Chain A
């Protein structure tokens, strides 16, 4: 009993600093935004708790619906692409060869710089007066800056997605590579020796083992893209912004009484990404179970 209560004390005391920090700085702000979104914001002269009027104003607007659609689109496309490409590169790099450490250095480089560095690189290369347009002009493909397709600042969001790919292919790469490194080459080699072709060995032996890494990394990538602010702000269309851009726009409106709308926005963003992540994890668990029962 004494030993147990001593353990209990050690556990509580040990966890206290981290839990308390996150309660104050993470849960606290979220709760504050939550109550404000339901109309308790005396700071801004809004005191009508509990109302859903701000949610109604937000969810009912055309602007929100457009923003939601574009946010999902900008988040999803890079997630799928970077998952596929990053995994393929990791599998390629897992075969030991000369110079692979040197090569992966460059692939890991984007991982450790801010997203804004990616934004600056994309602007330098892909804007209408950028380097790629100049090269095309040099080779006579285009005759003026106007001929170059509008990659940045358009609703197509190519600029945004390029930045995400620049950062996230390396991310998926490094996560999957570390899982592969932990697994060792034996499984694949055994499968190959037993007569499996390279594709079959990958599909039935390697893939199931790296699946947790793929799921985790793609999940984090999607969650990040869905809430990113600075990249869509800098490289996206002025209308519609993505959900985070629209949220901050609401926040910056001169009419303070509309600030709870911004809170409603961020709550919707949080809820939506929570639901998506939950469904994705559930689908993955189901897949894993079905595999186990085979």
Chain B
């Protein structure tokens, strides 16, 4: 048993190193000015180069208006917040029904509300583009947020259904018998009890939305950039260990990093947000999840 544990620990340390280490050269690259073949470390850093070129370098470039990072960041956050709230709002009543009622065809409804996660996004995306052209909402924020609902609503339904399942209906009934009206029951009983699930659904919706590439790429027609579409362009045109791509990669990773830290912090608090919900759902995006 002891020996087994030992091997397990070594495997975990190795895996953690393999997944974390690749970020280190990117951090170095983001501060580099010159990092030519075959140097293993940058030969010139951005602060050494600052006076020598008329153009902003590295982080200076990223934070200058030319890079397009500012609007992409704002778009990502704005679209993410809108998507998260809408998806949660849409999923909430459905989750309550799925957790509370039994009815004929329930399994079919559950399946229908999950299947967008598995159906190829390219198929949904191209069809959606046709639809949105007819509706005149391509290249608009409305179009992009609507597109992002497809990968986010299924997760929100799943997360919220499980949190309604954990909420004993007896609490509500008790509050009602004690004379609370519907609004008060919702406000003082239901809402506080499903808050962790609600927060998880919101965070998760934001995270998925901020990771979606293909749907944004198709619907925005290049007019509205988000962090993933900007990163796509940088990778397409940049060299390996290029400083601006490296910097952008680190910025694009921020929402995920914050999500992970928050969920760990709350898990330590003993609240239910975090581990299980994150575990029971994907990105995908894909996955999509997860993207």
Contact = CB atoms under 8 A, between A and B. Distances in A.
Interface stretch (B46-54, B149-157, B170-178, B180-188): B149-157
B60 to A, nearest CB: 20
Interface of B is mostly: helix
A178 B279 contact: yes
A127 B240 contact: yes
Interface in A219-268: 219-221, 223-224, 226-230, 234, 244, 247-248, 251, 262-263, 266-267
B285 to A, nearest CB: 7
B91 interface: yes
B69 interface: no
Given A32-B130, A95-B5, A114 B101 contact: no
A76 B123 CA distance: 20
Contacts of B62: none
B231 interface: yes
Contacts of A22: 112-113, 116, 150, 153-154
Contacts of A10: 97, 101
Interface of A is mostly: helix
Interface of B: 1, 4-5, 7-9, 11-13, 15-17, 19-20, 22-23, 25-26, 29, 37-40, 89-91, 93-94, 96-98, 101, 103, 109, 112-113, 116-131, 133, 146-147, 149-150, 153-154, 157, 207, 210-211, 213-214, 217, 227-228, 231-232, 234-236, 239-241, 245-246, 249, 252-253, 255-257, 259-260, 264, 275-276, 278-280, 282-291
Contact of B280 (A89, A175, A274): A175
Nearest to B37: A129
A103 B122 contact: no
A170 to B, nearest CB: 7
B240 A130 contact: yes
Interface residues of A, number: 101
A277 interface: yes
A224 B23 contact: no
Contacts of A137: 37-38
A288 interface: no
Contacts of B289: 224
Given A10-B101, A127-B240, A134-B38, A277 B118 contact: yes
A93 interface: yes
B26 A251 contact: no
Interface string A137-151: 110000001000000
